[in-house]
Amino acid sequence: MTDIKFPYYSGYIQNPRALGYISLTKFIQVHKNPDEKTLDIIKQISIAREEKNEKLKAKLKQRLNAFTPSVYLNIGDARRYKNIKAFTGLMQIDLDKIPTEEEAIGLKEHIFHTHEEIACAYLSPSRRGVKALMRIKTPSMIGGAFTREYAIDRYKAMHRAVEQEFLQYGYFDSSTKNSILPLFLSYDKDLLFRSLDECKIWTTEKWIDKEYENLNEDDTFKHSDYDNHNKATDIVINAIRTITDNGHPQVRTASLILGSRVGAGYISRQEAYDLMENLIKSNSYLQKNVRGYIKTSRWGIDNGINNPKYF
């Protein structure tokens, strides 16, 4: 029976190093039947979300694992594009902000039974989203060797094609084009799955730049924004860490910038929220009004999304 392993991480966003590997089979098991400790944390997160206690929710989330099901990294390496060693042949799909749990359940069942490339599909922790892992042709080669930059862009080209297919359902989150975007642990006892041997393999690609379609094995790759996720976050991390006065305008500006990168698909909204919250809490000057600065940061992220900026 075919199986795939991929890295897992701490849910603490500022500790992005791979802790080990988990098989897809085990991944499905822990999402369908988590241990009591994990189930208790997830239930607490659900309660905190209903009570709109964002501080507690973020703290609890850090106790869960995250995964990068699309790529291999060495254990101990940070979750960065430059550390990708190979692709796994899986693609993360995320349908978000679905109005009701009933609609989310129906959409989960529909996409799973309609698209035979999907290995598993399950509800998000909020039960207002659907997450899935899709079997894809493993992007890898130029001239018979692994070329990271080209493989990353082949993955994005397949993601564009998948996005065009899934736009008919609405709610598609394009940030999953980032192959190192962390996928956080969830729970759905009614998770749907099929073995990898039963899955079809998605092969369709959609390139933005026509020159890519004519690449030959000897071509040198020259156009890649494969480290944009880190560029998007590094500038914000540096900006917040250096704040010593005049907090709200600086938090607002940094958050608008980060939101524009969310809109461009380099980082997810939730990852941006968590990053800003952790940065605010770790800055001694901003400690005097943590709740207010977090509120400002979320306003900035949400408004920046509407004005996407690309590198």
For residue 208, what pLDDT is reported?
63
Domain containing 273 equals 228-304
- 256 and 300 assigned to the same domain: yes
- 69 and 144 assigned to the same domain: yes
In Å, how far from its chain's centre is CA 104? 19
- 10 and 134 assigned to the same domain: yes
Q: Provide the b/e sequence for 158-197 (b: ≥16 CB within 10 Å).
A: bbbbbbebbeeeebbbbbbbbbbbbbbbbbbeebbbbebe
Threshold 0.75, pTM exceeds: no
- 88 and 132 assigned to the same domain: yes
Q: Is residue 222 included in any domain, yes or no?
A: no
For residue 82, what pLDDT is reported?
86
Q: Is residue 107 included in any domain, yes or no?
A: yes
- 205 and 94 assigned to the same domain: yes
For residue 202, what pLDDT is reported?
94
- 166 and 232 assigned to the same domain: no
Query: Last residue of some domain: 151, 178, 213?
Result: 213
pLDDT along the chain (311 residues), means of 10: 87 81 95 88 81 79 88 92 91 92 94 96 88 91 62 90 90 89 91 95 78 38 47 79 85 90 82 86 85 92 84 64
- 179 and 156 assigned to the same domain: yes
Residues 6+ apart with CB under 8 A from 87: 70, 71, 72, 138, 139, 140, 151, 155, 179
Reading the block at residue 178, the tokens are 């980032």
- 109 and 233 assigned to the same domain: no
Query: Last residue of some domain: 164, 179, 213?
Result: 213
- 60 and 208 assigned to the same domain: yes
For residue 311, what pLDDT is reported?
64
- 14 and 122 assigned to the same domain: yes
Q: Is residue 223 included in any domain, yes or no?
A: no
For residue 221, what pLDDT is reported?
35
For residue 40, what pLDDT is reported?
87
- 154 and 199 assigned to the same domain: yes
What DSSP assignment string belongs to 22-73? EEHHHHHHHHHS--HHHHHHHHHHHHHHHTT-HHHHHHHHTTSEEE-TTEE-
- 18 and 85 assigned to the same domain: yes
Q: Is residue 311 included in any domain, yes or no?
A: no
Total domain count, the chain: 2
Q: Is residue 219 included in any domain, yes or no?
A: no
For residue 147, what pLDDT is reported?
76
For residue 230, what pLDDT is reported?
66
